[in-house]
Amino acid sequence: MSLRLRQLVAQCALATALLLAAAGCGTGTGGASSPEGARHNPVPPNADNAASLRPGDNLVVVLQGIPDPSSNQVQIDDKGLISLPFIGAQKASGQTTAAFAQQIRDTYIAKKIYTQVDVSVTVTERYVIVGGEVVRPGRVVWSPDLTASKAVQAAGGFAIYARASRVTLVRDDVSYLIDVTLAQKTPAEDPRLLPGDSLNVPKTAF
């Protein structure tokens, strides 16, 4: 074998060894940071935004300081709207109660319904919906510490054929797959719920 050929063979062998070493290092690092078999539930957005009004919230809107004061019990619909006398549909979702009260006041004055009006907005009830394979499907009253597993528990727990590892959480028309069995074992994997969220527990195939 000529000297030139031996040099080429040696260079190829060196390059191959370097590539294998680099691949081995990369595999080891990935395994340490992401252990095989580790499971995590998704983290839906806006979990810290419970102060904002949301679809499904029940409100009392009080109008005072006018010839015909009134107290209006309303519910925010799926489009984030409520309806009030003389001014019709008003966008409530996404606002605080204070900001929404100011919007209502400004609208009444801008439309020349009243020259002066005092408006207050109070949330009377907030809830989530738990459906599917639970003992008592329906509304669960929302509280700031309500999580997926707590909501299932408040609905009486899982029914006998519930598939607890495939629970669907719907928030703002987006679905997230939640393993409630994991959430029950690991509090960090138990997502907090917002008013208007819904949980659906499917049935097992057997």
Looking from the CA of 103 toward its CB, the CA atoms found within 13 Å total: 19
pTM of the model as a whole: 0.74
Tell me how many degrees the CA angle 198-164-157 measures, rounded to the nearest 5. Answer: 75
Q: Does domain 127-201 have CATH number 3.10.560.10?
A: yes
Please list the residue range(s) of the chain that carry CATH number 3.10.560.10. Answer: 127-201
Q: Which CATH class is domain 58-125?
A: alpha beta
pLDDT in tens, 19-46: 444 444 333 333 333 344 578 999 998 8
Strand 88-91 and strand 167-171: pairing?
unpaired
Domain(s) of CATH 3.30.1950.10: residues in the chain: 58-125
Mean pLDDT throughout 131-144?
Answer: 97
> pLDDT tens digits for 149-165?
999 999 999 999 999 99
For the stretch 46-93, pLDDT in tens is: 866 788 999 999 999 999 999 999 999 999 999 999 999 999 999 999
For the chain, the distance separating the N- and C-terminal CA atoms, rounded to the nearest angstrom, is: 69
CB 86 within 8 A of CB 80: no
